[in-house]
Amino acid sequence: MKLFVQYPTETLAVTVDENMSVKQYQELVGAVAFMFAGKMLQTAATLRTIPEDSTIIAVTPVDGAGKDKKRKKKVKKTPKHKSHVDKKVKLAILKLYSVKGDTVDSLREYCKRCGAGVRLSNHKDRKHCGKCGSNGK
C-alpha cells in the first residue's frame, strides 16, 4: 500500500503493509501522532482504513512550546490627565431673567436666525450664538 507522509519540512512517498497498525508505524517513523482528513488517527486502527495514495500528516513534538514569559508592567512617569469638570452654579437660571414685581424680562437677546429658545451669549466686545455662530446683527 502506497501512502504519502507529510513532515514539517518535506513529503515522502512510503510503501507500507495494510495490516500494520498506526501505533507500529508511529514507532517506526518516530512521530507522536498522525492526522488524516483533519482528524487524529487512533493508535489502535490499522492502515487499511486509509485509502490508497492518501496524504497523512506526521505531528512531531516541539520543545519549548508554551506561553511567552510575562513582562514587567511599565511604570508611568507622569500623572494621569484630569478631565474637565463643569462647575455647578446654583440658581444659574437667575442670570437669564430679571423679575420685577409681576413681570419677568429676559436679560439675553434671542438669535434672529435660530428663533425662540436660542439665546446669544454676552462677551466683552460682542454677542455670539452658540448654535449657528451668528453675531446677532
Domains and CATH numbers, the chain: 2-59 (3.10.20.90), 92-129 (no CATH)
Q: Categorize the per-residue pLDDT at 88 as very low, low, confident or very high, splitting at 50, 70 and 90.
A: very high
64: buried, middle or exposed (CB in 10 Å: 19+, 13-18, 0-12)?
A: exposed
Query: Rounded to whole angstroms, how far apart are CA atoms 98 and 96?
Result: 7
Strand 2-6 with 11-15, pairing: antiparallel
Label residues 89-98 b or e (16+ Cβ within 10 Å = b).
eeeeeeeeee
Q: What sections of 16-126 are H helices per DSSP?
A: 22-29
Q: Are 21 and 44 in contact (CB under 8 A)?
A: yes
Tens of pLDDT, residue by residue over 22-52, are 777 777 776 777 777 877 777 777 777 777 7
* Residue position matching grid coordinates 513582562: 71
CA atoms of 11 and 39, how far apart (whole Å): 19
Whether pTM exceeds 0.75: no
What mean pLDDT do residues 107-114 have?
88
> Which pLDDT belongs to residue 65?
56
Residue 93's pLDDT is 85
Give per-residue pLDDT as tens, 57-74: 777 666 665 666 778 888
